[in-house]
Structure 1
Amino acid sequence: MRSFKIMVLVAAMLTMAAASAVAGPTYDRVMQNKVIRAGITNQGIPFGFINDSNEWVGFDMDMAKEIAKRLGCKLEPTVVNNNTRISFLQTDPPKVDMVLSNMTHKRIRDEKIDFSITYFFDGQKFLAPKGKVTDPKQFANMKIGSMQGTTSIINVENYLKKLGNPNPKVIGYEGEVAMFEALRSGRVQAISTDSTLLLGYAAKVPGKYELVGDFISDEPYGIGLPQDDSAWRDAVNFAVQDIWKDGTYKTIYNKWFGPDSDYPFPLTEKIEMWP
């Protein structure tokens, strides 16, 4: 009889452990504390940046606030950059619960962290001084700036090799500010990363720079999440879908990328919706 009770107790403990594993530590902590720690860039105009009023704003900031609101939580933003946005999700415990930092969902990144469904659709282009580049083939023999720790720099190198330069001159910069300053100072002749980021920095000096050529890659942005917490991933996905469903997404999108915004960029895709 005693052994039977022990077996029942062990089975109950295993069931509880399994349930806890399904829920996951991030989901449990967020639901208990009602606080979401979100990693967001402060240099990625117009996704996350410091405006002229010294306020931390942007599309990603607004989306993070809305996700927190839908989950009944307070938002605590944390600054991340291209070198920390993944590592902050990998620490034990993670330093942040989610990352919205114009991060393309790539298979190689999915080996390290999890991602939400795509919440923004972009592509990579080149930005050059207005009128200086009439044919994208000219980029092959130019010095190009891009971003350290991103797929952008890999895409640029591969693209320039396809144009015929086996040893392209591509310089990686730690952040968007440094990359754009390299272009303004003439240290590079063009820069390349996601087109919306290029639009954001070009808008700081209207009429001086322009996007050149077609997209050289597709860049579907996902919200970075700690690995193997399906309950938390579902909660974020459901929140994003609800934000789209009731029209809030388009309100936020038009604020930053609509035809009357400083960074007009037409919305051409739809967020994946589950019945």
Structure 2
Amino acid sequence: MRINRVLRFGIGAVAVALAATACGGGSDTASAADHVREGKLTIGIKFDQPGLGLRNKDGSYSGFDVEVAKYVAGKLGVKPEAITFKEAVSTQRETLLENGQVDFIVATYSITDKRKQSVDFAGPYYVAGQALLVRSDNTDIVGVESLNGNKKLCSVKGSTPSQNVKDNHAKDVQLQEFDTYSLCVEALRSGSVDAVTTDDIILAGYAGQAPGEMKVVGEAFTEEKYGIGLKKGDQETRNKINDAIEEMFADGSWQTAFETQIGPLEGSTLTPPAVDRY
């Protein structure tokens, strides 16, 4: 997906808060399939990504990933009120799955060969692309090619975007890594860093949260396939989640969730990715 399309999505749209109350789940020896049979699920999401996975001040949760998680849970037979949402920061996602602290994760989780060595993925349910977020008054940075000159670039620990820039685009960029993207955004707003990098859809959410303060610049320069992470070897649940994702594409719920949480398409169209049945 190209970033110039993301910028036409009406990124200032306010995410609709959708509640999910805590019930069940946690770290135990039961499988995701066991929990489904009990009518409950614990799902990992991000808590600090506007438009994608956000814990609101009233304790509810909103975002595109949240809507995907709720739809999938519903197709598995679990009601929204029986979902426990657990924060899944980038550095902890594999551990949460391996330890059984969550049943699956829907948290801008890019499918990579390295990650598939320790967890399984359903999907992808969305394809994003890496881009840059800068302050609105910045005229020096117009894309990844302009990050040279010891610019300060921020991303999060346990993710790959900042290292990708250093390895492939700007050798002398100074990398700053924090635990969450919200901390990177605060550093950008304060002037401590020059740019934040991650997937375009994530950056669009932050830009929309503070209109006039920040902007997404340049073309997307990677392809990131978002998948739903599961414990390694849970083929039963993976197959059922893949079925649910394809149903979400087919019945229009996927596009509706995107338009509601990220913003109106304004003449553009979304093309669902092909689910990988590996």
Name the structure 2 match of 1:257. 262
Instruction: Mark the CA change 1:218 to 1:53 in structure 2 (over 3 Å): closer, same or farther.
Output: same
Name the structure 1 match of 2:166. 157
Q: 1:88 aligns with which of 96, 121, 138?
A: 96
Whole-Å separation in 1 of the counterparts to 2:93 and 2:224: 17
Q: Determine if the alignment matches structure 1 residue 170 to structure 2 residue 175.
A: yes
Whole-Å separation in 2 of the counterparts to 1:206 and 1:36: 36
Question: Deviation per CA, 1:132-155, whole angstroms, max 9, x where unpaired?
Answer: 235433311211111111021222
Name the structure 2 match of 1:220. 225
Q: Determine if the alignment matches structure 1 residue 40 to structure 2 residue 48.
A: no
Whole-Å separation in 2 of the counterparts to 1:201 and 1:135: 18
Instruction: Mark the CA change 1:212 to 1:33 in structure 2 (over 3 Å): closer, same or farther.
Output: same
Instruction: Mark the CA change 1:204 to 1:244 in structure 2 (over 3 Å): closer, same or farther.
Output: same
Amino acid at match of 1:118: P
Q: Secondary structure at the match of 1:215?
A: coil
Q: Which segment drifts farther, 118-127 or 248-257? A: 248-257
Q: Secondary structure at the match of 1:140?
A: coil
Q: 2:67 aligns with which of 55, 62, 69?
A: 62
Name the structure 1 match of 2:27. none
Q: Secondary structure at the match of 1:193?
A: strand
Q: Which segment drifts farther, 74-83 or 265-274? A: 265-274
Whole-Å separation in 2 of the counterparts to 1:257 and 1:132: 26
With a CA cutoff of 8 Å and minimum separation of 6, indicate the structure with the bigger relative contact order.
2
State, as a whole percentage, how many aligned pairs show the same letter.
26
Amino acid at match of 1:115: F
Q: Secondary structure at the match of 2:233?
A: coil
Whole-Å separation in 1 of the counterparts to 2:83 and 2:50: 20
Question: Deviation per CA, 1:159-187, whole angstroms, max 9, x where unpaired?
Answer: 334xxx3x431111110110000101111
Instruction: Mark the CA change 1:268 to 1:32 in structure 2 (over 3 Å): closer, same or farther.
Output: closer
Structure showing greater radius of gyration is 1
Q: Which segment drifts farther, 108-117 or 75-84? A: 75-84
Name the structure 2 match of 1:186. 191
Name the structure 1 match of 2:5. none
The answer on whether the counterparts of 2:122 and 2:275 sit within 8 Å (CA) in structure 1 is no
* Aligned-pair CA distance for 1:268: 4.2
Q: Determine if the alignment matches structure 1 residue 117 to structure 2 residue 126.
A: no
* Aligned-pair CA distance for 1:129: 1.8
Name the structure 2 match of 1:201. 206
Amino acid at match of 1:101: A
Name the structure 2 match of 1:78. 86
Question: Deviation per CA, 1:39-65, whole angstroms, max 9, x where unpaired?
Answer: 111012211113355422111111111
Structure 1, unmatched stretches of 5+, are: 1-24
Question: Deviation per CA, 1:246-272, whole angstroms, max 9, x where unpaired?
Answer: 1111111111234279xx986344343
Q: Determine if the alignment matches structure 1 residue 239 to structure 2 residue 244.
A: yes
Which protein has the bigger helix share?
1
CA RMSD of aligned residues (A): 2.3
* Aligned-pair CA distance for 1:207: 1.9
Whole-Å separation in 2 of the counterparts to 1:102 and 1:234: 20
Whole-Å separation in 1 of the counterparts to 2:152 and 2:223: 23
Amino acid at match of 2:205: G
Q: Determine if the alignment matches structure 1 residue 140 to structure 2 residue 143.
A: no
Q: Secondary structure at the match of 1:210?
A: strand
Name the structure 1 match of 2:104. 98
Q: 2:35 aligns with which of 30, 33, 36?
A: 30
Whole-Å separation in 1 of the counterparts to 2:203 and 2:269: 15
Question: Deviation per CA, 1:64-96, whole angstroms, max 9, x where unpaired?
Answer: 1111111111322111111111110011xx111
Q: Which segment drifts farther, 29-38 or 251-260? A: 251-260
